[in-house]
Structure 1
C-alpha cells in the first residue's frame, strides 16, 4: 500500500533556496507579479509593472491576449514537439525574445548583463534598450553567442543616435 501511495503522491525534495522555492510555486505571470509586488519597493514594482505614458498599448495588448484561447489536444504524444521558429534568417528554439527594458539595474546589480546571459542560455535574441545602464560593448562581451538587437529612439538631435 505504501508503494502505491508513494507512486501517486510523488514526494519532492525540499527546496532550501528561498528564491527558488517561491518561484517554483508560480504557475503564471500573475503569480510572479504577486511575489514582485510583495518583495520590491513600490516605485521599483510600479516601474517594472507599468508601461509608457498613459499605458494604452499595455491595455490594448492585455485585452488582445485576453481574447486568445488555447484548444488543448489532450492525450496526444508530445515526446517530439518542435517549438522552433525561423526569425530573420535565424532558427530560434522558441518564438520569444527578451525585449528592451531600461534601468534593469534597479532590480539586479548586473542589470542588462544578467538579462543577455539569460537570453544566451535560452538561445533567444536580446534587445538592448536606449535607456540601458550598461554599454553596448559590455553587453556584447557578456553575451557573445546571442543575437543582439538595439532599440533606437530617434531624437531631434540626430547626432545623439550616431
Structure 2
C-alpha cells in the first residue's frame, strides 16, 4: 500500500526529528552547566517526577490500546497524544536534570548490576529506535491509513511500553544511589 500525501508531507520531519532528538540529547547530556561555571541549582527533584511520567505513559498506552479495541477511536487518539506529550515532558526534564546535576552511578553489586545495565542499555537503545516508530504510527493514524497504522502499531506499542516501564525500573533501581 502506498504512502498517503499526508504521510509523505511528514516523512522528512519524522526522519529529521529521529536524528536530531537523539543527537541533541547526547550533546546536552554531556553539558553540565555547574561544571561550566554557571550558578544553577541542581534539579535533583526531577528524577522521581520523570519516572512517574514514564509510569503514567505506560498506563495511558495500555488504556489507549484498550480504547481502540473497544472502538473508541477518538479516546485512543487523545490518549496517544497525551502519551506523546508525556514523552516530550520526560525528555525535557531528563536533559534539564543532567545539565544541572552530576550523573549518578549505580552502586549495586553482583548479578543485580548486570540486570540493571541490561535494562538500562535496552531502555536507552529502544528510546532512540522508538522515535520514528511513534511518529510514523501517529501520522498513519491521523492520515487515515488505518491498516498500515495497525500493522506498525503492533511493533510500536510493545517497544514504547517497554521504554516507559523500564524507565520506571531504572529509576527504582538507581534511586538509592542519588545524592541530594
Query: TM-score normalized by structure 2?
Result: 0.23
Larger relative contact order, structure 1 or 2 (CA cutoff 8 Å, min sep 6):
2
Greater percentage in strand: 1
Greater percentage in helix: 2
Q: Which is greater in Rg?
A: 1
Query: TM-score normalized by structure 1?
Result: 0.24
